[in-house]
Structure 1
């Protein structure tokens, strides 16, 4: 009994020390999050049960309209941006036109990977805190955290002073085209902002935050050879054929670039033979040939991911040089798709913002936060802020697991924790109460 009482006293004492790190306003923010957590937990359950697969335009807009009302309740100006011009449902934008502190862009998305034909449509509670549901972590939980944090700032009389723009896209999981229209609101918001805060779930670990994301774009390699009887392969007249040349190029990609840190390039589809037919829309096709005929054509498609524009350009240059150094009797060309996600390069500003977030987390009693390995975080909308904002971080959303699968879960206990971290961080950025 004595040990139990001692343990309780130590917990109370430790909690008191931690609360002492918070200002009066910050304590008010924390109380507000706790008081409003039940409402926003119910809101999360409501929107998880609305199918908003990217191509379900009606469902994406439905989620947007539910959240639109919530932002309007906070006194923010909202608009729905129709996505017809880029073949998607559209985006939700909410703005608060304060005059104090840095201009902040908050980023989320409305769509999920679960279309109406998916068997995964409703949430279930696995226990008192773990919710299994479509998009609960990626990233409807993050959208609700934005609202819960802004609600706390509103009740602490801070929000009305802030310069905040929220962009919730409707096509993060499957981007519309052309990309310059699809991401126009996001890029324009970034150009107006000083700081970008994104609420993806990142790698699902609340002890990490994203200061860097790799790019995501595609490439197509086409190889030509001389069709002939296989008995003539390797002769000066025929050469080696397209399949040998394609295998050489892919091997050289691996030999020269696979050890480059944070760079990956994956050949996902390959077709080769006497004739090929590739359908980009279906990401597949047909190949015809015979074992006694030298291959005339090869098509290879793949993706490439890099941590910075410099790394990406270097990799492209080397891959083009490899493709141009052909085996006898062959030719090859590699084309890189321009319509992709740019990298969010690591920067001093991003790392400084992480240090502020880390300090907030420690002061709240939630422990340190460190940068996640960019190999553990895929491409996301925050990357479109790169080069426009002074600071950006991502991964401020709801902790969960198995996103993009029918086993996706979110930890509801983390809803209030993440909202407190976000709200106190934003308050300190506005009030200049930030220390490394």
Structure 2
């Protein structure tokens, strides 16, 4: 699908903001009523899931949350299965639920079971506020709140008699926060589901705009990693800048500062997350840690930098990598350097199909009296599972619950956003599958 830019994108988004409210038909009114009538049960399911620690590396906890949600899908008449990952990947696996039908579009719903909070985290599992309508806890908004929205939306469709005949697949991954490698394996089943779908909806947390209005995501930046290795000529520090050259640390500083000054452009970021330098460097790549030894009177001979790169599309990636390689090649005297890039998540390009989905979602929200929906800039979100399927099907993300402080001790959730999210999602799924 072709990426939409400039005036065409602005015009399309303007159409979204002015979508006309057409009201709800009788079935849709039943769907909305079903969501609202079962809001307490939704909160109870959220609490039950959040109280189970499911840090990405806690395979047992991830499976336990998967079993909790699997029962909900079983009760809805879905065929469910657990997909194990190879033992060497050290990941719990994924929950898949499917329901065959004969009408409407084939819809793929995405969520994830894991959180960034591993066992032993000091962050409380669950804390309910004192009448402020918010809860805090491990993964409440990222993204167990979104998982609950999926389930509650489907339950409402069933209660309104609107689920039969719909063609729906659901995949809740067990390692979204740190996807297992190779990703061709950890996301292979997701890609196959996408190939048998027409639309993909992902329920990562909803990000309200500056006025508190809900949004959705039509594009996300790709991610890659890069590693810079620099070599210098070890010698007495009295010879630095002269016969012994500049050393590995100065060359590393030159390269990184040149990246900052000469490579940056809108939508592109590159972040050096780990730097080790000295005369003896050891990097534990698997655990992203290492050691460095050196002395102030010895010129450093080695530096290693591990970093990420985020870009809007492949042309932007190619421009950035070409500039970075050119900067690396112009070494200071007495030094040499190499840089290597590794792609990770593909870009979710802004396409006409994605914008059409946003328009349908905004109409459903307006028809339910919940206001319009804006679009989140691609650079305002991190990487997500939707990016593995977006090149294959029209896609929309950010349909989950609203909260603050994701991945932090202050992660919280606006409880009412579960009801709002379930109403919007149920109406959108209903309209797609009619």
Structure 1-normalised TM-score? 0.89
What is aligned with 1:220? 227
**Structure 2: stretches of 5+ with no match in the other structure:** 1-19
In the aligned structure 2, how far is the partner of 1:399 from the partner of 1:382? 18
**Alignment counterpart, residue 91 of structure 1, candidates 83, 91, 94:** 94
What is aligned with 1:430? 433
**Alignment counterpart, residue 269 of structure 2, candidates 264, 273, 297:** 264
Q: Deviation digits for residues 297-342 of structure 1, max 9, x if unmatched?
A: 111111111122222232122212211222223211111234x222
What is aligned with 1:82? 84
Whether 1:277 aligns to 2:282 is yes
In the aligned structure 1, how far is the partner of 2:388 from the partner of 2:261? 31
**Alignment counterpart, residue 252 of structure 1, candidates 249, 252, 258:** 258
Q: Secondary structure at the match of 1:401?
A: coil
What is aligned with 1:58? 60
Contact 1:272 1:287 in 2 (8 A): yes
What is aligned with 2:297? 292
The aligned runs of 1:147-296 (5 Å cut-off) are: 147-203=151-207, 207-235=214-242, 238-258=244-264, 260-296=265-301
Contact 1:87 1:177 in 2 (8 A): no
**Alignment counterpart, residue 375 of structure 2, candidates 365, 371, 374:** 371
> Relative to 1, partners in 2 of residues 1:407 and 1:234: Cα closer, same or farther, differing over 3 Å?
closer
Contact 2:206 2:403 in 1 (8 A): no
Per the TM alignment, residue 282 of structure 1 is displaced from its structure 2 partner at its CA by 3.2
Q: Secondary structure at the match of 1:42?
A: helix
Per the TM alignment, residue 386 of structure 1 is displaced from its structure 2 partner at its CA by 2.4
What is aligned with 2:36? 34
**Structure 1: stretches of 5+ with no match in the other structure:** 1-17, 432-436
Contact 2:206 2:214 in 1 (8 A): no
Q: Deviation digits for residues 6-49 of structure 1, max 9, x if unmatched?
A: xxxxxxxxxxxx99611122112111212222222211111111
Contact 1:202 1:377 in 2 (8 A): no
The number of equivalent residue pairs is 410
Per the TM alignment, residue 178 of structure 1 is displaced from its structure 2 partner at its CA by 2.1
What is aligned with 2:14? none
In the aligned structure 1, how far is the partner of 2:409 from the partner of 2:252? 37
Q: Secondary structure at the match of 1:231?
A: helix
In the aligned structure 2, how far is the partner of 1:83 from the partner of 1:48? 23
In the aligned structure 2, how far is the partner of 1:323 from the partner of 1:20? 58
In the aligned structure 2, how far is the partner of 1:20 from the partner of 1:212? 27
Q: Secondary structure at the match of 1:294?
A: coil
In the aligned structure 2, how far is the partner of 1:45 from the partner of 1:290? 53
Deviates more, 1:174-183 or 1:287-296: 287-296
Whether 1:123 aligns to 2:126 is yes
In the aligned structure 2, how far is the partner of 1:231 from the partner of 1:120? 50
In the aligned structure 2, how far is the partner of 1:386 from the partner of 1:368? 23
**Alignment counterpart, residue 351 of structure 1, candidates 344, 352, 355:** 355
> Relative to 1, partners in 2 of residues 1:361 and 1:384: Cα closer, same or farther, differing over 3 Å?
same
Whether 1:401 aligns to 2:404 is yes
Structure 2-normalised TM-score? 0.90
In the aligned structure 1, how far is the partner of 2:234 from the partner of 2:49? 57
In the aligned structure 1, how far is the partner of 2:298 from the partner of 2:50? 55
Q: Which has the greater radius of gyration?
A: 1
Q: Deviation digits for residues 74-113 of structure 1, max 9, x if unmatched?
A: 1111001113443211110000111211111100001111
What is aligned with 1:361? 365
In the aligned structure 2, how far is the partner of 1:160 from the partner of 1:36? 20
Q: Secondary structure at the match of 2:409?
A: coil
What is aligned with 1:14? none
In the aligned structure 1, how far is the partner of 2:21 from the partner of 2:217? 27
Q: Deviation digits for residues 107-148 of structure 1, max 9, x if unmatched?
A: 000111122201234322103421122111111111110011
Per the TM alignment, residue 231 of structure 1 is displaced from its structure 2 partner at its CA by 3.4
In the aligned structure 2, how far is the partner of 1:265 from the partner of 1:396? 28
In the aligned structure 2, how far is the partner of 1:21 from the partner of 1:64? 36
> Relative to 1, partners in 2 of residues 1:24 and 1:267: Cα closer, same or farther, differing over 3 Å?
same
Contact 1:40 1:144 in 2 (8 A): yes
Q: Secondary structure at the match of 1:375?
A: helix
Per the TM alignment, residue 168 of structure 1 is displaced from its structure 2 partner at its CA by 0.1
Alpha-carbon RMSD across the aligned residues, in angstroms, is 1.9
Contact 1:226 1:296 in 2 (8 A): yes
Contact 2:207 2:214 in 1 (8 A): no
Contact 1:51 1:121 in 2 (8 A): no
Per the TM alignment, residue 212 of structure 1 is displaced from its structure 2 partner at its CA by 1.2
